[in-house]
């Protein structure tokens, strides 16, 4: 396996893709979980499918179409929510389904033999091209820069948006930046785990990280590292046994969550038992 | 002179009128209690004062653009949020204008520690907020408001779901702060509040009662309302159109 990693460039690309996706997921995933934007992110991810379909129809790079659609969907949801009184859950549901519907429609209108969409829906990390890696790297740098350069503001915005507004900070800017960053993250994830599975890679590592730390920055770092472990080992397993990479990575993460979650519960119980024994 | 002047303010949420023709003047260093039924517009009034929403008509003026220290209801917070006490308090020191790679200065941290010491929460400095009691978290939120150096302090139900002893502690802190600050407090604990406040206003869409009198006591309220303060809440819920 290690040998083939040096030999085949497609494996090197896959390795890089898994690495970049994990770092970004750890950072943005932590924010999504803490700001309760999980279903919002699911909506944005599915809306991007419309753009991928349009990309095929117009003959442009499908992922660019996906990027445009996911940004428009995230801005659309927040703007409509603010202008009307519609529940954001309802809006997310609409964008979610409309994105998928448009995608299917555009693909059926595309002349010629219909393209295989499973790699977008469920990811196919072994087919990532080097141009896509470059795009991923640029998007990752943008995301990391926007989070780290104004980290104190993010912490305040996530913890108490109202107070942040009262002290005079323009929180609307943060909302827009955050939604765009989520859209960029989704695009990075499409090739790695796919539209449908992306939400799991965003939420599972932060959920595990929260068992260990109560510090926002550390939570992001631990989530990123966990993501790297899951996606790289998932990649190797899927390559070795010739099974789908996206599913392998997600299932590995979920197994990781249950193992770590239940062992930390057990550990706490043992600790409690020892404390009780000392008291008696 | 008055610190806050609210002139003929009405707030509408679509077709629903939340506040109607409110006129209220708050003196400097006044300790004002705001009472009223749930849904009576207390929170709306606070939001308008903080500039979180614009009055549909009317105007609000804050003297000399004083900063307002805001203490929200602690029960609304996600206690599992990964943040510690020091970082919550330092939030009040964030510059309005976004500055890249901002870090809190040593001066900010020193000021935060002074405030924590004054409020008796310095020992919890590095604790995550989920590991605090309700009263301790309330003090942290007061500390966060204080670090903005406000002349006016607005508190939304600071003693909701706290035990009597802790309530008293919070009121004593507020009394101490009242020496050089104007304080507005929304509360349901009318009885306990009465020995601390200078004046009280009852809001249920309209402003029903307001008195700037240092000799304010139970009897006054009883006289003007026609029933004891104890019954105040029950009555107003049964009949939201009390004419005072």
- Residue B153 three-state SS: strand
Question: In the CATH scheme, what is the code of domain A2-279?
Answer: 1.10.3470.10
Instruction: Select the more confidently predicted residue: A186 or B191.
Output: A186
- Residue B241 three-state SS: coil
In this structure, of A120-129, A205-214, A238-247, B216-225, the range with the lowest mean pLDDT score is: B216-225
Tell me, yes or no, whether B233 lies in a domain: yes
Using pLDDT thresholds of 50, 70 and 90, give the confidence band for residue B38: confident
pLDDT at residue B142 greater than cutoff 90: yes
**A66, A51 Cβ separation under 8 angstroms:** yes
**Selection from A1, A11, A22 nearest residue A223 by Cα:** A22
Distance from CA of A181 to the nearest CA of B (A): 17
Using pLDDT thresholds of 50, 70 and 90, give the confidence band for residue A255: very high
Q: For a pLDDT cut of 70, what percent of chain B falls above it?
A: 84
ipTM of the complex: 0.86
The answer to whether A150 contacts B98, with C-beta atoms less than 8 Å apart, is yes
Residue B173: give its domain's CATH number: 3.40.50.300
Number of A:B CB contacts under 8 A? 73
Cβ of residue A37 closer than 8 Å to a chain B Cβ: no
Q: Please tell me the predicted confidence (pLDDT) of residue B238.
A: 37
**B162, B138 Cβ separation under 8 angstroms:** yes
Q: CB-hemisphere CA count at 13 Å for A32?
A: 32
- Please work out, in degrees rounded to the nearest 5, the angle formed at the alpha carbon of residue A151 by the alpha carbons of A194 and A69: 30
B43 vs A contacts (CB less than 8 Å): none
DSSP A195-222: HHHHHHHHHHHHHHHTTT---HHHHHHH
Using pLDDT thresholds of 50, 70 and 90, give the confidence band for residue B141: very high
Distance from CA of A147 to the nearest CA of B (A): 10
Using pLDDT thresholds of 50, 70 and 90, give the confidence band for residue B209: low
The answer to whether B68 contacts A167, with C-beta atoms less than 8 Å apart, is no
Q: Please tell me the predicted confidence (pLDDT) of residue B211.
A: 59
**Residue range A54-64: average pLDDT?**
93
CA dihedral B139, B144, B145, B147 (to 10 degrees): 120
**Residue range A213-224: average pLDDT?**
96
Tell me, yes or no, whether B148 lies in a domain: yes
Q: At what angle do helices A9-34 and A194-209 cross, to 10 degrees?
A: 60
CB atoms under 10 Å from CB of B188, counted, come to 17
DSSP B112: H
Contacts 24+ apart (CB under 8 A), A60-66: A62/A120, A63/A132, A63/A135, A63/A187, A63/A190, A63/A191, A66/A120, A66/A186, A66/A187, A66/A190
Tell me, yes or no, whether B244 lies in a domain: no
Cβ of residue A273 closer than 8 Å to a chain B Cβ: no
Tell me, yes or no, whether B212 lies in a domain: yes
User: Which residues, 6+ apart, have CB-to-CB distance to A270 below 8 Å?
Assistant: none
State the total domains in chain B.
1
Distance from CA of B79 to the nearest CA of A (A): 10
Residue B136 lies in domain: 2-95+103-238
Q: Which residue has the tokens 């002179």?
A: B1
Residue of B nearest to A147 (CA): B101
The answer to whether B100 contacts A150, with C-beta atoms less than 8 Å apart, is yes
Report chain A's mean pLDDT, rounded to a whole number.
Answer: 92
Q: Which residues of B touch A (CB under 8 A)?
A: 14, 50-52, 68, 70, 72, 77-78, 80-84, 87-88, 90-92, 94, 96, 98, 100-104, 128, 130, 144, 148
DSSP A20: H
Domains of chain A, residue spans: 2-279
The answer to whether A150 contacts B50, with C-beta atoms less than 8 Å apart, is no
Report chain B's mean pLDDT, rounded to a whole number.
Answer: 84
Tell me, yes or no, whether B37 lies in a domain: yes
B70 vs A contacts (CB less than 8 Å): 162-163, 166
pLDDT digits (tens, 9 = 90+) for A111-133: 888 788 888 999 888 888 898 89
- Residue B34 three-state SS: strand
pLDDT at residue B7 greater than cutoff 80: yes
pLDDT at residue B212 greater than cutoff 60: no
* B127 backbone dihedrals φ, ψ, rounded to 5°: -80, 145
Tell me, yes or no, whether B243 lies in a domain: no
Using pLDDT thresholds of 50, 70 and 90, give the confidence band for residue B202: confident
């Amino acid at each position: 396996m290690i040998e083939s990693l040096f030999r085949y460039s497609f494996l090197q690309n896959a390795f890089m893709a898994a690495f970049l996706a994990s770092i970004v997921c750890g950072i943005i995933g932590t924010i999504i979980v803490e700001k309760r934007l999980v279903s919002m992110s699911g909506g944005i991810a599915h809306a991007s499918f419309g753009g991928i379909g349009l990309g095929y129809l117009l003959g442009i790079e499908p992922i660019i179409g996906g990027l445009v659609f996911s940004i428009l969907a995230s801005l659309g949801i927040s703007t409509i929510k603010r202008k009307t009184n519609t529940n954001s859950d309802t809006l997310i549901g609409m964008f979610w389904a409309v994105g998928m519907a448009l995608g299917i429609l555009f693909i059926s209108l595309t002349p010629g033999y219909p393209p295989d969409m499973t790699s977008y829906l469920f990811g196919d990390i072994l087919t990532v091209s080097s141009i896509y890696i470059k795009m991923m790297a640029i998007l990752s740098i943008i995301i990391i820069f926007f989070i780290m350069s104004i980290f104190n503001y993010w912490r305040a915005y996530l913890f108490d948006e109202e107070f942040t507004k009262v002290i005079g900070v323009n929180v609307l800017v943060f909302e827009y930046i955050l939604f765009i960053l989520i859209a960029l993250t989704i695009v990075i994830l499409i090739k790695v785990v796919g539209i449908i599975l992306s939400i799991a890679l965003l939420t599972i590592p932060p959920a595990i990280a929260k068992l260990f730390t109560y510090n926002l920055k550390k939570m992001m770092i631990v989530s990123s590292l966990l993501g790297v472990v899951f996606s790289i080992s998932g990649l190797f397993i899927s390559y070795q046994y010739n099974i789908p990479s996206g599913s392998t990575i997600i299932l590995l993460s979920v197994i990781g969550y249950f193992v770590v979650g239940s062992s930390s519960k057990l550990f706490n119980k043992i600790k409690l038992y020892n404390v009780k024994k000392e008291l008696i | 002179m008055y610190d806050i002047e609210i002139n003929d303010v009405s707030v509408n949420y679509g077709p629903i009128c939340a506040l109607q023709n409110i006129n209220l003047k708050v003196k400097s260093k006044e300790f004002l209690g705001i009472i009223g039924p749930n849904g009576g517009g207390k929170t709306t009034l606070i939001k308008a004062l903080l500039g979180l929403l614009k009055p549909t008509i009317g105007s609000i003026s804050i003297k000399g653009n004083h900063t307002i220290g805001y203490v929200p209801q602690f029960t609304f917070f996600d206690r599992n949020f990964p943040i510690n006490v020091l970082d919550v308090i330092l939030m009040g020191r964030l510059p309005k204008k976004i500055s890249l790679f901002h870090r809190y200065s040593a001066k900010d941290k020193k000021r935060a520690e002074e405030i924590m010491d004054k409020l008796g929460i310095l020992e919890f400095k590095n604790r995550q907020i989920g590991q605090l009691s309700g009263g301790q978290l309330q003090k942290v939120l007061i500390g966060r408001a204080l670090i903005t150096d406000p002349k006016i302090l607005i508190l939304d139900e600071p003693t909701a779901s706290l035990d009597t002893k802790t309530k008293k502690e919070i009121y004593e802190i507020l009394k101490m702060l009242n020496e050089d600050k104007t304080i507005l407090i929304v509360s349901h604990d009318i009885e306990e509040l009465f020995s601390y406040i200078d004046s009280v206003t009852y809001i249920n869409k309209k402003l029903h009662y307001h008195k700037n009198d240092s000799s304010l006591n139970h009897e006054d309220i009883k006289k003007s309302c026609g029933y004891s303060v104890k019954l105040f809440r029950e009555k107003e819920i049964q009949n939201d159109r009390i004419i005072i």
